[in-house]
């Protein structure tokens, strides 16, 4: 389920982690609201090898939106 959150539903492009530096320390930001998800990066995370793309709040909103859209698609197909 969460693997679907790796792709933008409009452009179908893969999201990349947003990495910013704050006082010399790297941080990963949420792709939707820009809240700091994690501070103090490892080398692999700095190179973009991470699954952290959204904060918990935004991930929950996106999952709920996907389920609502799937319900809508199923209802329109049934009629």
Q: Residue 1 corresponds to which tokens in the numbers above?
A: 């389920």
Q: What is the pTM of this model?
A: 0.68
What pLDDT score was predicted for residue 76? 46
What pLDDT score was predicted for residue 63? 81
Better-predicted residue by pLDDT, 67 or 16: 16
Predicted confidence (pLDDT) at residue 20 exceeds the cutoff of 80? yes
Backbone torsions φ then ψ of 36, nearest 5 degrees: -70, 120
Q: Where are the domains of the chain?
A: 2-78
Please report how many Cα atoms fall inside a 13 Å half-sphere around the Cα of residue 63, on the Cβ side: 10
Better-predicted residue by pLDDT, 1 or 45: 45
What pLDDT score was predicted for residue 1? 44
Residue 45, number of CB atoms within 10 A of its CB: 17
Please say whether the beta carbons of 28 and 17 come within 8 A. yes
């Amino acid at each position: 389920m969460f693997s679907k959150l790796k792709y933008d539903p409009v452009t179908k492009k893969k999201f990349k982690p947003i990495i910013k530096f704050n006082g010399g320390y790297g941080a990963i930001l949420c792709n939707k609201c820009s809240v700091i998800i994690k501070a103090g990066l490892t080398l692999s995370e700095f190179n973009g090898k991470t699954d952290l793309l959204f904060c918990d709040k935004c991930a929950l909103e996106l999952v709920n939106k996907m389920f609502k859209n799937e319900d809508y698609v199923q209802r329109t197909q049934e009629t």
